[in-house]
Structure 1
Amino acid sequence: MTAPKSLCVVSQPPNADQRVPVRISRELRAIAADEERGYRSIACSIDLLRQAGYLTDDGAFDPARTARALMQVGAANLSVGRLWEGHINALHLIRLYGTGDLKTSMNRRIEKGALLGVWGADAEVPVTLDAFDTHLNGRKNFTSGLETVTHAIVTVNSGRDVRLALIDVTDTARADPSTWDMQGMQATASGAYDFTGLSADRIEWVGSPGDYLKEPRFVGGVWRIAALQAGAAAGLLDMAATELRTAGRMNAEAQQSRLISVLMRVWAGMALTERAADATIDREIAPEDIVATSIAARLFTEEVGLDAIRAVEQSIGLRHFEAGSETGRMARDLAVYLRQAARDAFLQRAARTAVGEDGRIWGVFG
């Protein structure tokens, strides 16, 4: 695989605290609407992150630093953030469970332009190995990054026997973008991917059966989703404030109170997310406490995101719903992204941990 032709040029490397340079954030935001309309490929934005060195970090060394970077990218361009989070997740799984040869080869592939993803949502026919272990059957839904993601970690089989397969997904004949009929996150180029008939010889297995579900790496990693949700909520509020200032409407006390009330909760969600990220590398914290805190961050930032959408609708008014509205596009993207899977199950699991035993409410804060 050869490196893709550079679509965007970046002169600034990542700085010490892993904050995304202001120039990159501005560029990601500037081209976000174009990407939704197909004027520029999502690969342009990914190229910005690649050139700046962000595709080689899986977040394991300093998760809180990675959380802050995800927040900033989510604020600027949530679709790009979604793809980058998938890449981070996939790279982390390879470095956790892959062989030494796989880790080395994947580093080389990323240097040459590979982008990774994690595709775990089965379609009506789940992805499984056939009876002879020679070919795959089934499809995956909600496969983000069609024609941009080059290698996906795909879940094969289910339950305790679930396996992780690293597969080259550049065969466009297997991709079906028509199944993504959502009002938001259009720029992610999501859809379905058919693995039926794919030879097992083309699979690079990652780890052993069941590794994917091990905690606190599995649900304990949803702080990355929380980071994007918090960042996107902050970005939406920021854009609304910009439009209100431009229209001379930001001086109204009602507008200020409405936006700052939500923004304070966004800041709280960011702090909780950073703490959840930090907890994953703290060996003194029990795995289930790590999981509960990560869940709490994910669910809290979901609620804050909904509050941000409502506040912006009230503040901008009818113009928010115009076809070319920037706040409207950002709100649609956020509304779709907030609907992550298993919300109720997550809430119950966190509750069992935090309030199911004496003294557990302190969790990672004890």
Structure 2
Amino acid sequence: MTFPFESLKNSLPDLEAEAAENDRDSSFPTAGLACLRDLGALCAPLPKTLGGCGFGTDPGGGPGLLHLLRLTGEGNLSLGRLLEGHINAVRLIARYGTSAQLQKASTDILGGALFGIWVTETTNPVHITPDGATFLLHGEKMFASGALHVTRALITAETPDGETRMLLVPLDANRKASPAVGGLCGMRGAGTGSCDFTGIRVASDALTGHPGDYLRQPEFSAGAWRGMAVALGGIDRLVTLLRDQLVSRARDANPYQRTRIGEALIAQETAALWTRKAALVADDKTLPPGDVAATINLARIAVERAGLDVIERVQRSLGLSAFVKTNVVERIMRDLSTYLRQPAPDETLAEAAGWFTQRDLPQPDLHVTPKP
């Protein structure tokens, strides 16, 4: 399977138009998801032997995956979040599951299934209890992207002996889920809500991997690069809009505006270089796990800083017009600001800096580029 990147690029205006509609009423990007499904984006992370492109599962698939996520984020960050969650779940099944589980997941995805990964606990965390030949679930997950639309949820649950297990839970229209987090200012189109798994019964083959696999390094940290790729797409779009709007106002020749354009371009390229480095490091099986995790944690902080810098330059350059809801940059800034809010940034930076205090960062070949 060869992914049609040019077709996705041509679809970006439609994805952006739907994103504006989703933001107004917190609706789900149904048309955008259908577009991605038709283009083969949901199948793309599957190994080539199972009908996919091997993006994120086959050796050398990182650059193609970066290109896919970056383009999707450029069109609609909320849709990019849903695709990234789907790919994350597939990646974990491919890495820790059995061949039969991956084959079943591939069959489901080729049939149109949307996967997601939901791990954030409420005050009622999910527990799993053996019950004869099956397992009974109890508890809830929150900040679940696509809460009403994901049909295969990869979740974490605690066993009676205190271990954490991953399991894949099929969901249907009878799920007990809320449609959205009330009052969320950005990423309103991702359908982020909560889901109550109490009373759901799963077979033993729902268990994926072994105890502790979800937190196992370097995969636990390495997966963050895929979120960076989506955020990079949002950064790309903001920089383009900044330049376009200054040109349309005949303000692009102002030396101070040119300074801000230059600073935004520097931040954009910084984010791109760090994201590309993270993708290549994550795909390099010869590196020590600590090098992989720490490099990607540094990249995460660098991309966050670059995104915030671009937002600031857009606000300073466009002034109050950047805060008018009819201006597309207003929504994208909210979406990007929300998407960049990943947990424990200070701890992440301190741990990565500590790891590399007495050793150098790995230097992958940054000239490797995606092949459309």
TM-score, scaled to structure 2: 0.87
1:204 aligns to 2:206 (yes or no): yes
Question: Are the counterparts in 2 of residues 147 and 172 from structure 1 also a CA contact under 8 Å?
Answer: no
In the TM superposition, 1:153-192 aligns within 5 A as 153-157=154-158, 161-171=163-173, 173-192=175-194
Question: What is aligned with 1:43?
Answer: 30
Deviation at 1:172, TM superposition (A): 5.1
Does structure 2 retain, via aligned residues, the 8 Å contact 1:31–1:40?
no
Counterpart Cα distance in 2 of 1:172 and 1:181: 25
Residue pair 2:147, 2:179 contacting (<8 A) in 1 also: yes
Bigger drift between 32-41 and 57-66 goes to 32-41
Q: Per-residue deviation at 1:204?
A: 1.2
Q: How does 1:175-254 map to 2 (within 5 A)?
A: 175-201=177-203, 204-254=206-256
> Bigger shift: 193-202 or 71-80?
193-202
Structure 1: runs of 5+ lacking an equivalent: 1-12
Stretch moving more, 66-75 or 137-146: 66-75
Any residues of structure 2 matched to 1:96-115 within 5 Å, and which?
96-115=95-114
Task: Give a deviation string over 1:259-278, Cα, whole Å, max 9, x none.
Answer: 22122122122112111111
Given residue 177 of structure 1, which amino acid in structure 2 is its aligned partner? P
The separation in 1 between residues aligned to 2:124 and 2:78, in whole angstroms, is 27
Secondary structure, counterpart of 1:152 in structure 2: strand
TM superposition shift of 1:161: 2.0
Deviation at 1:42, TM superposition (A): 0.8
**Counterparts of 1:49-128 in structure 2 under 5 Å?**
49-58=36-45, 59-61=56-58, 62-128=61-127
Q: 1:259 corresponds to which residue?
A: 261
Q: 1:19 to 1:126 in 2, by over 3 A?
A: farther
Moved more, 89-98 or 150-159: 150-159
Indicate conservation of the 8 Å contact 1:156/1:163, yes or no.
yes
Provide closer, same or farther for how the CA distance between residues 326 and 85 of structure 1 changes in structure 2, counting only shifts above 3 A.
same
The answer on whether the counterparts of 2:267 and 2:309 sit within 8 Å (CA) in structure 1 is no
Query: What SS does the corresponding residue of 2:207 show, helix, strand or coil?
Result: strand
- The residue aligned with 1:277 is 279
Of the structure 1 ranges 235-244 and 35-44, higher mean CA displacement relative to structure 2 is found in 35-44
Q: Is residue 222–residue 298 contact of structure 1 (8 Å, CA) maintained in 2? A: yes
Q: Measure the CA separation in 1 of the matches of 2:14 and 2:289.
A: 39
Distance, in Å, in 2 between the alignment partners of 1:253 and 1:20 is: 37
Residue 81 of structure 2 contacts residue 190 of structure 2 at CA under 8 Å; is this kept in 1?
yes
Give 2:17's aligned residue: 30
* Number of corresponding residues: 349
Secondary structure (helix, strand or coil) at the match of 2:356 reads: helix
Aligned equivalent of 1:149: 150
Cα gap change, 1:311/1:57 in structure 2, threshold over 3 Å: closer, same or farther?
same
Q: Deviations over 1:226-266 (max 9, x none)?
A: 11222211211212222222222222221121022122122
Answer whether contact 1:136 1:196 (CA < 8 A) is retained.
yes
